[in-house]
């Protein structure tokens, strides 16, 4: 049985563990960034727990004008909780729990929460091999991103709510 909830400051260490175990090198958010995201916008930081342990999460910020390659936004510079457009920063499941449909459950719960908050779109960037997965979730491919975050090639996608 899994439980969804908003992140608490005490979740930062576990979220950082998961982030660094699931993402490559410089791609992972720092502990400071994760802590700041929880403190700044807990309504946009969705936690998935199984048996009382955090096993995955999604975090985001909101903007009036979406510029996916804006690195400052990853520190929520320019974030406005009232803005209609959601920008996902991380979708991550502990590698020991991957392959169980948890990312899909997280995405569905996240979309429902954003819809109930009156958001209009959700935007994300992913690596090329994840494009078909997000298309299955209902996201539309937009373009290769100008971002070279972590020295990698990214692709921008969005979904209208």
What's 18-69 look like in SS3? Answer: HHHHHCCHHHCCCHHHHHHHHHHCHHHEEEEEECCEEEEEEEEEEECCCCCC
Q: What is the CATH class of 2-160?
A: alpha beta
pLDDT at residue 151, as a whole number: 75
pLDDT reported for residue 28: 84
Count of alpha carbons within 13 angstroms of residue 2, beta-carbon side: 20
Q: Cα 78 to the chain's mean position, in Å?
A: 17
Residue 89 has a pLDDT of 93
The sign of the CA dihedral 2, 86, 155, 36 is negative
Q: What is the pTM of this model?
A: 0.94
Residue 99's pLDDT is: 93
What is the per-residue pLDDT across 55-86, written as a single tens digit (0 to 9) for each? 999 999 999 999 988 888 988 999 999 999 99
pLDDT score of 98 more than 90: yes
């Amino acid at each position: 049985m899994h439980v969804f909830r908003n992140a608490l400051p005490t979740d930062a260490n576990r979220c950082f563990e998961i982030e660094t175990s699931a993402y490559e090198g410089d791609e992972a958010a720092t502990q400071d960034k994760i802590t700041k995201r929880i403190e700044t916008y807990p309504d946009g930081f969705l936690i998935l727990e199984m048996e009382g342990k955090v096993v995955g999460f999604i975090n985001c910020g909101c903007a009036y004008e979406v510029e996916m390659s804006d690195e400052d936004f990853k520190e929520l510079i320019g974030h406005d909780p009232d803005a209609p457009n959601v920008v996902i920063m991380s979708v991550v499941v502990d590698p020991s729990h991957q392959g169980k449909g948890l990312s899909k459950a997280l995405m569905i719960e996240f979309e429902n929460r954003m819809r109930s908050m009156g958001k209009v779109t959700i935007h994300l960037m992913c690596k090329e091999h994840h494009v078909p997965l997000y298309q299955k979730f209902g996201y539309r491919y937009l373009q290769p991103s100008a971002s070279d975050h972590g020295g990698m090639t990214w692709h921008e996608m969005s979904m209208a709510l």
